[in-house]
Structure 1
Amino acid sequence: MIAQTVCTAVSVADLGVAVVTAYRKRFLAAARIAAYALVPVGLVMTGVIGWVAHSVFSPVAWAGFGVLGVACLLFLGTRAVERRGGGQEERRVRRGARREAVAPTSADPALGKGARPASGSRKGNASEDYSDIEAILKKHGL
């Protein structure tokens, strides 16, 4: 009952401010103030104010809000851990995926047994590579 009276008084006062604003030829601002003034009356008429008044003074409602807060913290905490590096299960899955995605370390089977040059003759390979490039450039007239 007190909440309804307070909301009605606030609405009447705000409607008075809207009338004064409209008298000063600021009709858009007056309409906006009137809209804000009607919100408390609408809340009283729909019963929201009564529900809020009963909830505010109820210890069970406050305990419920506490449980909801803990649930939100758990959700946010698990998301933060997941983004930073995940749990052990996800690490195992990622490691397995990396191992499957890695290409073979050597192309020896594709080349055959004697196709790979010895590692000590590196200088000779470089000159062969340049001779191929020189031949291509000469072919194109460069």
Structure 2
Amino acid sequence: MIAETVCAAVSAAGLGIAAVAAYRRRFLAAARTAAYALVPIGLVLTGAVAWAAETAFSPTAWVGFGLLGGAWLLFATTRAVERRGGGTRAERRAARAARRGAVAPGASAPSLGGAARPAARPAERPKAAGSAGSADPADDFSDIEAILKKHGI
């Protein structure tokens, strides 16, 4: 009698915590907490203590098995959602930041080859920009022409 009361109180407290988590929009945590909270009352309702006496034909035991199955289903669902990408906000933010930072500014430099390195050009450009009319307009498109020739265009 005392064990059943304690299990019911633990389940009620767990469901209360799950409700608070759901109110804070932490639905995966709320579902997982609800699943944990249903286990003690499910075990009590299955009659695990008096297994031999009433398990087979007790409607209360079948309700307990149903609650255990529901708890297992919640566990499985939250794991599937979490693996699919539902994770926490911090994990989603980190993944988005990693995707944004994946493209490096100089990512096309290796494809230009050794002859047309962009690192050599910035040293030449400030000198040409200092004199007003000495820059040849054909030099402005030489980088573009080199890229197009490399790709066969």
Shared fold per TM-score greater than 0.5: no
Structure ID, larger Rg = 1
TM-score under structure 1 normalisation? 0.35
User: Relative to total residues, which structure has the larger helix share, 1 or 2?
Assistant: 1
TM-score under structure 2 normalisation? 0.32
